[in-house]
Amino acid sequence: MRKENSTNTINEQFLFQVCELNSAIAIIGGRWKAQIVYSISQGNNRFHLLKKELPNISEQVLGRQLKELEIHAIIIKKEIPDTVPLGVEYVLTNKGLDLVSILESLCNWGKLYADGKEISACLA
């Protein structure tokens, strides 16, 4: 999928070195990721619950996003024993939980200015 030596990849790696900020953005910057993390934190921690919350997402895409969040250790996949068919629960890690509060700040920031807070230049 990724070309090792594309300028795109090289630039991405460069940014990762400059500051962890850029790795963080890369983790949550995808189309559905931030919303999925937030939804899980609200208790929609099952595949089918997420599907209900995000009716437009296809199962393929949802599965892909969840796997990537798992790779970055934001969530952990847990099988629920003695269920048929075998249920799966997604649980936030402490890393994921810390992220949620930052996402909440971002959300409030967006709301504040969407609600018409005045915007003006700040003099340095």
What residue ranges bind a second copy (CB under 8 A)? 7-8, 10-12, 14-15, 18-25, 28-32, 34-35, 38, 43, 45, 56-57, 73, 76, 78, 91-99, 102-103, 105-114, 117-124
Q: What is the dihedral of CA 9, 11, 17, 22, to 10 degrees?
A: -90
81 preceded by a cis bond (ω within 30 of 0):
no
Q: Between the CA of residue 119 and those of 28, 33, 60, 109, 114, what are the distances in Å?
A: 26, 28, 40, 12, 11
Interaction pattern, residues 12-51, with DNA; x per rule: CB under 7 A: x-----------------xxx-------------xxx---
Interaction pattern, residues 85-124, with DNA; x per rule: CB under 7 A: xxxxx-----------------------------------
Task: State which residue, 66 or 92, has the beta carbon closest to a second copy.
Answer: 92
Tokens 């559905």 sit at which residue?
32
